[in-house]
Structure 1
Amino acid sequence: MRAISQAFGSPTKCCSQRPKILSTPHSTVSLRYFPHGSIPLSQPAFAQVAQHRPTNCPASVRTLQRSIHTTAIRNNGSPPTTALFQASDLTMDEYHKLSDKALDDLLLFFEDAFEFESEAGDGWDVDYNSGVLTVNFGKKHGIYVLNKQPPNKQIWLSSPMSGPKRYDFDVRKGVWFYHRDQRTLGTLLREELSRILRRDPDLIVLPLA
């Protein structure tokens, strides 16, 4: 016991002193023991590590260093930094003008398609009322519903093939797009209509950019 005491010093002198933990924005944090009442000196930049070292404790107890690796937190609720489209901050008047035009143009497109399309079957119908466009492709293909959502300044789509989606408008690109997959409303409708009409999607010209 005497040999151990001589090697490491008196436990009542040293070990009774509690360590002070210095938290820094740097990836490495030093944990050091300081005498009671002492204040650690800080350095600029990211490494605020105290320089003061007590002399009454052996080196094996004075300093304990530990590396703490931090990981950046990813915000999964926001669109990717390389997003092709960005939702524009529309006024309510701008929103109504743009959404009304999109749904009016789609109404005319489907009316013409159902009149001249050879694949049109029984029960195919289109209706637009109070901001809700309903496109019925019968029992075989189901019903599409596109409606305005003024509180969110969006157009909502319910598709029998791909399910529900919410579209924002990008003024720079002039398109309605879905922020999760960065695809436009026109692109999705062309692809799904090509399956229903059994034709190349490039041959389907929608009134949407």
Structure 2
Amino acid sequence: MSDESSFKTQANAVLEAWASVVDAIEDETGIEAELSDGVLSIVHPDRRTIILNRHLPSRQLWLSAPVSGAAHYARDAEGRWRSTRGPEELATVLAAELTALAGRPIAPPA
């Protein structure tokens, strides 16, 4: 499997897992997820929006969110998606963002 193909597979798995998390809380919270061509859009009824997308040239996942702002994440040696500017893990940051949108604790995908 090529680097590009491997990255797409890994990134798509992350995007699909988070889309499933949002789908599971949609009826309760009104938060919707749309996944299309490597871009996950998570939209609260009041229009606050989280965007998580794969960035193929850099082999990173890019996040734009209301609370934490914009950040880039790359896979580390353990396979975790970590910020390119600090120790933060994508799963932790995105769970906090969804918790803020939902008004209740949201756990990262297993």
Shared fold, TM over 0.5:
yes
The amino acid across from 1:92 in the alignment is E
Q: Which aligned pairs between 1:1-209 and structure 2 lie closer than 5 A?
A: 91-115=3-27, 117=28, 120-121=29-30, 124-139=31-46, 142-170=48-76, 172-200=77-105, 204-207=106-109
Deviations 1:103-157 (A, max 9, x none): 0111111111113x3xx14xx32111111110001226x0011111110001111
Distance 1:98 1:126 in 2: 19
Distance 2:97 2:19 in 1: 17
The amino acid across from 2:102 in the alignment is L
Contact residue 53 and residue 62 of structure 2 kept, 8 A = yes
More helix as a share of residues: 2
Runs of 4+ with deviation above 2 angstroms: 192-200
In the TM superposition, what is the alpha-carbon distance from 1:179 to its structure 2 partner?
2.2
Q: May I ask how many residue pairs the two structures share in their alignment? A: 109
Give 5+ residue unaligned stretches, structure 2: none
TM-score, normalised relative to structure 1? 0.48
Give 5+ residue unaligned stretches, structure 1: 1-89
Distance 2:16 2:98 in 1: 18
The amino acid across from 2:107 in the alignment is V
SS of 2:46's equivalent in the other structure is helix
Q: Considering only CA atoms, is the larger Rg found in Structure 1 or Structure 2?
A: 1
Distance 1:109 1:185 in 2: 14
SS of 1:102's equivalent in the other structure is helix
SS of 1:161's equivalent in the other structure is coil
Residue of structure 2 equivalent to 1:6: none
TM-score, normalised relative to structure 2? 0.87
Give me the identity figure in percent: 27
In the TM superposition, what is the alpha-carbon distance from 1:181 to its structure 2 partner?
2.0
Deviations 1:152-197 (A, max 9, x none): 0011111012211111011x32211102121001111122222233
The amino acid across from 1:148 in the alignment is R
More strand as a share of residues: 2
Contact residue 75 and residue 81 of structure 2 kept, 8 A = yes
